[in-house]
Amino acid sequence: MGMSQHVASPASAASAALLDLARDIAVRAAEFALEARRAGVSVAATKSTPTDIVTAVDRDTETLIRSLILEARPDDGIVGEEDATHIGTSGLDWVVDPIDGTVNFLYDIPAWSVSIAVVEGAGGGAIGGTTIAGVVVNPVTGELFEATAGGGARLAGRDLAVNDAVPLSAALVGTGFGYAAEHRREQAAVLLGLLPRIRDIRRAGSAALDLCAVAAGRIDAYYERGLNAWDYSAGALIAREAGARLGGPRGGHENSELLVAAAPGLYEELARALREAGVDA
């Protein structure tokens, strides 16, 4: 009797091929950025505020990533943090954060990452499409998180799963803060309302790694306001494929206004607590 053999669908095979390419590019970019960090780094410019910084390594790493993407897939679009959007014609956009956690990178805190996602149907941008593959690499630890839509999330070949059945009172919750003083004041007020209702807060400094931490069960939930698509696209897919529920303002999809990620049983409790603390989750 012949043994039945699972045949991947064309869509899943395409996602796997994109993931392979994203992984290869992310690893090369991580090696490049880590070597540059070891050689020394300084602030090249500021962006929205004096504390919102960019280094030459950010720019050089994104340039490397863009060149590798276009070499392999010249018709795809690219949306990155440090350079103008490259409009493609294929219907696929690569959403790139060359160094997520630039302040950690500057201070040599080993919690920064290279984040690369592939988004389908976004219409020449990163918003409104479906993320089909994502990779987040911590160059210092060498950990590589990855996922494809419908294919699960993995770390070093191990399937990831969020912590389930955790009540809000026992939840370890990650978050982050904006750069502008007025936004930080509002975020601090929310934190004051939330902190007495949970186990504790963690602030690692990289949204991509925080979302991967949810996926790996290292924290129970994560929320943040003011993120950009390149901050969260890959990490959100990884968390979702590990079983997390993700959402945004007023019960909608996660976006730059708000992202909340938690196991399904915890999500509603956390969203309610955030609303009561002043966030319209």
Q: Which residues are annotated as a binding site?
A: 81, 97, 99-100, 231
**First vs last C-alpha separation in the chain:** 55
The CA distance from 141 to 129, in Å, is 31
Q: Which residues are annotated as a binding site for Mg(2+)?
A: 81, 97, 99-100, 231
